[in-house]
Structures are given as structure tokens and as C-alpha cells.
Amino acid sequence: MQHSMDDTAAQQTASMVEGSPVRVLVYVAVVLCLLLAALPAIEPLGTPNAPAVSEGELDLTEWDFGSKPSIELKGDWGFYWQQVVDPQAVSPAATGEAYIRVPGHWAQIAGAGTHGFASYVADLILPASAPPLMLKMTEVGTASAVYVNGVLVHESGRFGTTGQTSVPGIQRDLIRVLAVDENRHLRIVIHVSNFDYRTGGIWDPPVLGTVEKIQQQQDVRLAYAIFLASGICVIGLYQIGLYSLRREDISPLYFAAFCIGIVLRILSTDERFLTLLVPDISYVALVRIEYLSFLLATPAFGMFLVEILRGKFPVWMRFAGILPGLLGSLAIVFTQPVVFSEWLPFFQAYLVFGCLCCIYLLIRAIFNQMWVAWGFLISFLALLVAVFNDILVSVGLVQTPVILVSTGLFFFIVVQTYVLSMRSSLALRSVELLRFQLEAHSNQLEAEVAERTRDLATANAALEKLTVEDSLTQIANRRQFDQTLAREWASHHRRQEALSLILCDIDYFKKYNDRFGHVRGDEALQQVALCLRDCLSRPNDLVARYGGEEFVVLLPDTPSEGARELAERLLGAVRELRISHPDSPEGIVTLSMGVTTIIPDARTSRAQLVERADELLYRAKSEGRNRYIAD
């Protein structure tokens, strides 16, 4: 019965969609017009027809930053292959100067390899009335250090002259230009190294402009990227919702996977905004996401078309369109960028092949009177333009704003969402009939889940207590001490504050056990542990059983003097317990202690702190016990 209702709804939906080409085309036209209307707000970073750097020099004395607030520093920069130019020199002392086109790859220079290092130099003369300026650093492959008039103002990764010293990074930055000499001269020296990608160089030109304009353009681009990414995310979640309501149709799930790939593509390419969301993301992870985003999105979209155009996909085309993307994704996951980036032309060819196959199938569907294919075809052609733009930009043949790719993808996804919604609208009516029956069952299930969740929370709390508390002494155990020491060590290393540790051992405890037995020994351990705990007054101080008859006291933010005072107090408190111990020279249970204090830094470790306390404890024992030794 349910299948019959779904089939009827699907037939009605298909009839509605396939019989309404005008409706689809009108929607496509409206969405396209809205996106085209929004594009003028996304200004290019530079000013069109601006002067370019020529033979490493750019004279901006006649440039008016008031009417033309920004300029891309394109052109022929001074280029020194395998040389590190002194950024503080009046004129470069290096030899072998050549000129290289920026933006571009340094492989365009004869003799320059794909891997190595180089120095880029440009001398600018600013107008006398120049306002406060800002330098926007964009894409450099793959590690760089930027100097303005000899001052280091920006680093991306870590520049190095070997593969061992060079660390790749993708860090875009906005730099206020402060170091301008009295002659309004601005020397920009960029050291670039690449040992981790298929080729190196300055891939996007630096941009010089007024502080207000550069910041405004950055904010607008960020807002636009957030708009596109969030919009596509919502569409993806919507498709997942559709699939959850009607599991028989798996096409929305494939389309949701495609949307996720496109979101990752936008965030990992357009201005690298993913680095703002995840500041600690590594270069390798970012490049992998960039590549995987389109390699996984392509087979996801291929599976989506397989579901939409059932019976119209040749078997060989399915495997040719999906299998290379999956194999390429595995290669990216298990190899480094220096390896898989060499395969970029093959990935791009695979993408172009997939696009051509889709166009062929959509045209065939139109001839077969599937009017829904009109929306697919128009939006796909827009996407194809964006894809080709992306490929041409990546190989340096054209320079267009990257927002063209993102906008094309967004337009494509919005149109596909509309088409999918039309297909699903009638099918969802059958789901509505089941909603009331499911609601009662859902409420009952939620109540059971809530009850079991409470029981589980209680059990987890008891289990958590067992994992961090010593069952005999009822104080912290070794595991909790290790976790607390790791946390406090990191905190004190960051704040450069003193961290103290007291390692305690009950004197002659083996003889105590031999005389009184282990039951009395356990009681003595309990009394000593509670005594040590009661001597601590600060909430962050920690006493823990370290092992056997050993205890450890961790004292955050405590200098050496405070640790000694507490050690003296602990010794006296244990003596005052007056626990009889005939085999001890004192006649009672006493402690020996090692007290150490350290300010954590990169040369020290937690293990060294504990080892030092253990050494001092050994000295205290060797000097007669019932005392503490501090460093």
C-alpha cells in the first residue's frame, strides 16, 4: 500500500516537473539574475589598468590613492634563483638577477626547477601625499618571509633553503606599511621556498592600498564566502532531510555529499577562509581538503545523475566517471602534496571528462522530452564555465576573481535543489500520513531514552570516580595525577609561572608491614593520605597516591619558598599523627620528601620534574630520613 502511494506520488511529481519547462526556466533565470546583480559588490582587489612592476621597479608618485585606493603589485619582479637576498641591503648584493612575472610559477624562468628557493624584489616609490597604507599578502607557494624596507612583516610557514628547513604554510595577512623612509621608497623583498608542491612562486600578487579599502574588500569577500558556504550547507542539510523522509530515493543523499564537497572547496580555495575557521590547520591538511573536495564531489554528482536519469547512463560511463575519483581520493589521503600535486593535470582532465559526459546525457534527456533536464543543463553550463575558469587560473593562463567559481557552483546547486524539491514535494505527502502514528511512538521512545540516559549518566559518574580515585586512600590516583600534571604543565609553560612538586615516601614502611601486617599498613596509608590532603588549602593543589607507600603533591603557581613551607608543614602533620612504628628510629611513622620547583620551557619536560623530585627524595633518605631536601 505504501509503495503504491509512493509510486503514484512519484508519477504525479514527474508529470508536473517534466510538463513544466517554462516554470523551471523562469526559476533558473531569476536565480541567475540575482547572482549577477550581487557580483558588482565583490570588487577586484586591485585597480584595472593600473601600472605594473617593470624590471623590479614601480613608480607610484603620480598614483592617487584617494580615487584609486588599491593596486595589485603585478609585473616583472627582480628574481634571484637559489639566492637569499639581504632584505636590509640598499641594493641586492646577490648575483644572477633575472625578472619574473608575478603572479606565476617560477618554472617559467630558464634554469629554475620545481623545488628550491628564491628571492623576489620590488622597489616602489610612493606619492608624497600617500595615506596610511596596507599590504595584503595572498597565495605564495609554499613558504615565504616578507620584508618591507628590511623589516620582517609577514611569514607563511617557515622559509628555508632545504627540504628539511622549509616548512610549508598558507597564511594570508593584512600588513600595515609603517617602514617608509623619507624618500617615500618602499623595498619589498619576499623569500620563497618550495619543497612540498609541484611548483613554487608567488601565485597571487600582493596588493597595496589604503587601510580602509583593503580591510573593506577583505570583509566583503569574507561575507560573500560565508554567504555561499552557509547557503550551500543549508541546501545540503535540506537534502539530507529529504532523504531521511523518503529513503527509497537516494539521490538527495548523493546531492548532499556533493554540497559538502563544494563547501569545502569554497572554504579551502576562496581566500583560504578555512584558515580563519581552523587557525591551526596544517598545510598538508588544507591542500588535501582542496583536492579531495572536487575529487569526491565529482563521483557524488555522478551517482546523483545515475539516480535521476535511471536507465540512461551507459555502464562504462558510470565506472569511468566514478572510479577514477575514488582512486584519486585514496591516493591523496595516503601520499604527500609533493606527490599528488604532480597529478593535478590528470585530475583536471578527469573533471573535464565528467563535465562533458554530463552535458551529453542532459542533452539526450532533453531530446527524450525530460523537460527537467533544461534546468540541469543551463545550470551545468554555468558550472562548466566556472570549472574551466578554475583550471585556467590554476595553470596561470588567466587571472579572474575566484568568486566566479564559487558563484557558479552556488547557482548550480540552487537550481538542482529546486528541481529535487519539485520531485519530492508530492512524495512527501505520503510521509505525512505516517507522521501521526510515528509521533506517539516517538514520544514513548524519547521518554525511554531520557530515562536510560539518566541511568547511564549516573553509572558514568560512578565509573569516572573509580578511574581517578585511589580505592584504598580515597585520594587521587596515579592516572589523575598524570592528567593534572600534563594540564598544569601546559598552562605554566604558556604563562611562564613556577610549578612545584613534592614526592613523599613513608619511612621504613616495609618493616611496618612486616611487624603489623598489611591490614594495619593499609590503615596507616589511609591516615597519612587524609593528613596530607587536609594540609592543602588551595583548590588547585593536588595530593595523589603515586604508588605503594609513595605520595605526590602538585602545587600550581607555587615558588620554591612556598613549596618548602608546605613540606615542613606536611612533615609536622604526619609526625603529629603519632602512628606507632617501633622499627623506626623516631618510634613513629615519618616521611621523607623531595621538593623541586621549575618554570616549564621548551628544554624541560614533565618527566624531568618527577625525576628531579625522586633524586631529592633519595637524598633525603640517604641523609637520615624524616626530612625533606629541596633544590
The three three-digit cell numbers of residue 346, written as one number: 590528470
Question: In sequence order, what are the beta bridge partners of 123?
Answer: 57, 187
72, 139, 488, 549: the catalytic one is: 549
C-alpha R_g of the chain: 35
Q: Which ranges of 309-426 would DSSP assign to H, the alpha helix?
A: 315-334, 337-340, 344-367, 372-394, 403-425
Pairwise CA distance, residues 206 & 221, whole Å: 16
Strand 75-81 to 98-102 pairing: antiparallel
Q: Is 208 exposed, middle or buried (0-12, 13-18, 19+ CB in 10 A)?
A: buried
Please state, as a whole number, how many other Cβ atoms lie within 10 Å of the Cβ of residue 290: 21
The gap from C-alpha 235 to its chain's centroid, in whole angstroms, comes to 23
CA distances from 116 to 53, 163, 340 (A): 24, 8, 18
For cell 507522521, the residue is 435
Per-residue DSSP letters for 399-437?
Answer: ---THHHHHHHHHHHHHHHHHHHHHHHTHHHHHHHHHHH
The single-letter DSSP state of residue 259 is H
User: Which residue, 139, 73, 156, is CA-closest to 272?
Assistant: 139
Query: Cβ–Cβ contacts within 10 Å for residue 446, how many?
Result: 10
Closest to 131 in 3D by CA, of 73, 187, 63: 63
CA dist list (Å): 330 to 324, 327, 579: 10, 5, 67
- Are 621 and 505 in contact by the 8 Å Cβ rule? The answer is yes
Say whether 523 is catalytic.
no
State the catalytic residues: 549
